[in-house]
Structures are given as C-alpha cells and as structure tokens.
Amino acid sequence: MPQTFTIDGSCPICGTAMTVSRLACANCGSALEGSFQVISGAAASGRRTPSGPLAARGDEARFGRLARLDATQLDFVEAFLRCRGVIKNVEDMLGISYPTVKSRLADVLSAMGFGADADLPDGDRRRERREILADLAAGRISTEDAHRLLQRGPDGADDDRDTD
C-alpha cells in the first residue's frame, strides 16, 4: 500500500481551498477522476453543517482552526466543551483515563497548530505577574509602574510587543 498523507484542504503555498482531482480505493484499486470538494470532518461524519451566507465560504473561513480536525478529534472537542473543560467529567463521559484525555487534548492542539506549551508563560513568570497585580491592587505601585513591569520579558528586558 502506498504511503498516504493527511491534508487540511488548503493550499500549502497560498492557503486557498484545494480541490481533489483523483480518488482511489486502497482496497479494490478503483479510482474516480474529476473535481471533488474537500469536506470537513463534521460534514463527512454526517453532522449538520451551517447554511446561509456562511455556507458559501470555505471551511477554514467558517470554522477557523477547527476545520483542521478529523471527526474523532471533533467528537473529543465536543465532549470537552460539554464538560466545560473539567477533565474528570471528560474521563467519565468518554470512559477514558486522565492520560488519554491529556493525550487527545494535545493531539487536538497540535492539529490546530498550537505548540505544546509554547504560548504559556512559565510558572515563575505567572507568579511574578500575580505579585505585580497584587501590588497594584494594594496601592504599593502605580498603574504606570505595573504596566512597565508587566511589559518586561521573562529575561527582564523590555518586551518587543506593540502595546497600542
């Protein structure tokens, strides 16, 4: 069996929606040629899809990063949201263990293009931010001082982000 690759339906060069021109069955070898539209996991699994003005737009435009998820990942996200992110409830609803919930959540985040913990501040930085905000609330520092302190990067240097 030839190696297969997973794509999200958008062009890796310019990002516009791609069409599939040939479909082949790995089991019997039959094939179809033509122009086929890539559908999201929700539509492929028979779930209701939006109609109206948004239906004319591509999946990425309608669903953003969620359009990158397959049907299994979408089912997990649905359960996760219904449980309001409470992992114990997700375990009970899906009948899976804590490590499995964490693994599936990591898979979903990866499929959506988010790094493992790259966007999260480290523990020391979070603690420092809490202390700055507590000092501000207690009146020990001014708003300007708090703003300046919060803008510092983890290394103590000014952060390059634009604050406008």
Q: Assign 156 a pLDDT band (cuts: 50, 70, 90).
A: low
Whether residue 75 is predicted with pLDDT greater than 70 in this model: the reply is: yes
Half-sphere exposure of 34 (CA within 13 A, CB side): 5
Whether residue 124 is predicted with pLDDT greater than 70 in this model: the reply is: yes
pLDDT for 86: 92
CB 26 within 8 A of CB 1: yes
Distance CA 100, CA 98 (A): 5
pLDDT for 54: 39
Least confident of 104-113, 116-125, 133-142: 116-125
Map out the domains of the chain as residue ranges.
19-111, 121-164
Whether residue 140 is predicted with pLDDT greater than 50 in this model: the reply is: yes
In terms of pLDDT, which residue wins out, 164 or 137?
A: 137
Termini Cα distance of the chain: 54
* Mean pLDDT, residues 31-41 taken together: 71
* Mean pLDDT, residues 122-150 taken together: 87
pLDDT for 101: 92
Predicted TM-score of the model (pTM): 0.41
* Mean pLDDT, residues 56-71 taken together: 71
